[in-house]
Structure 1
Amino acid sequence: MEPKQVVQKWVECFNRGDAEAIAEFYSEDAINHQVANEPVVGKRAIKQMFADEFSAAEMVCIVENIFQDGQWAILEWKDPIGLRGCGFFQFENGLIVLQRGYWDKLSFLKAHNLPIPE
């Protein structure tokens, strides 16, 4: 599967809130760096991160665009409440080895009535 197709499948799993399925897209030593947070390293930790996030808030990813350039895929997204962001996914051997996500954490926390760190 090409990176663009993997990201399309990743979005389907994300929208189901399926941390187990999402984790299967990552290499064992992958890094997921949502830049508003510290990087999460390793497939197991990434799975736990998604499980924690899915239990804290209902999240929906509406694809605006998915671009592919070689072993990179870029996802532009929005959600039903108006938040927007983008993600960059680097692939090796068909698996995500690096993901960086850019979004407004303060707007997300406020929209989902989650605690705002001091």
Structure 2
Amino acid sequence: MKPKEVINKWVELFNQGNAVEISELYHSDAINHQVNQDPVEGKKAIEEMFDREFKMAEMVCIPENIFEDGEWAILEWKDPLGLRGCGFFKVINGKIKFQRGYWDKLSFLRIHELPLPRE
């Protein structure tokens, strides 16, 4: 699959809340770095991250734009609650090797009425 096709499948599986199937889109040594959190390394750790997050809140990804440039796909997204963000995916041989995401974690926590960090 080309990068844009992988991201279309990623969105479909994300919206199903399926941690096992979405993790199958990643290389075994992939890195998922949501910049407001520590990077998650390895397919199994990525699956566990998605499993925790899907249990924490109902999340919906509505693509606004998906761009493709060589090995890279860029996803600009929103959700029904007003959160917006974007993700950059490096896709090699039809699987995600690296992902970096930008979104406002404080807004996410507030929208979903989750505990806010103390500091």
Question: What amino acid sits opposite 1:96 in the alignment?
Answer: I
Taking structure 2 as the reference length, what is the TM-score of the superposition?
Answer: 0.98
Alpha-carbon separation, structure 2, partners of 1:108 and 1:117: 12
Alpha-carbon separation, structure 2, partners of 1:115 and 1:40: 22
Q: How many pairs are equivalent? A: 118
How big is the alpha-carbon RMSD for the aligned residues of Structure 1 and Structure 2? 0.5
How far the C-alpha of 1:93 sits from its partner, in A, is: 1.4
Question: What amino acid sits opposite 1:55 in the alignment?
Answer: K
Alpha-carbon separation, structure 1, partners of 2:68 and 2:115: 36
Aligned residue in 1 for 2:31: 31
Where do 1:8-87 residues align within 5 Å?
Answer: 8-87=8-87
Identical aligned residues as a percent: 67
Alpha-carbon separation, structure 1, partners of 2:95 and 2:36: 23
Name structure 1 gaps, 5 residues minimum.
none
Name structure 2 gaps, 5 residues minimum.
none
Question: What amino acid sits opposite 1:88 in the alignment?
Answer: F
Three-state SS of the structure 1 residue aligned to 2:80 is: coil
Deviations along 1:62-95, whole A, 9 cap, x unmatched? 0000000000000000000110000000011111
Taking structure 1 as the reference length, what is the TM-score of the superposition?
Answer: 0.99
Aligned residue in 2 for 1:96: 96
Show structure 1 runs of 4+ deviating over 2 A. Answer: none
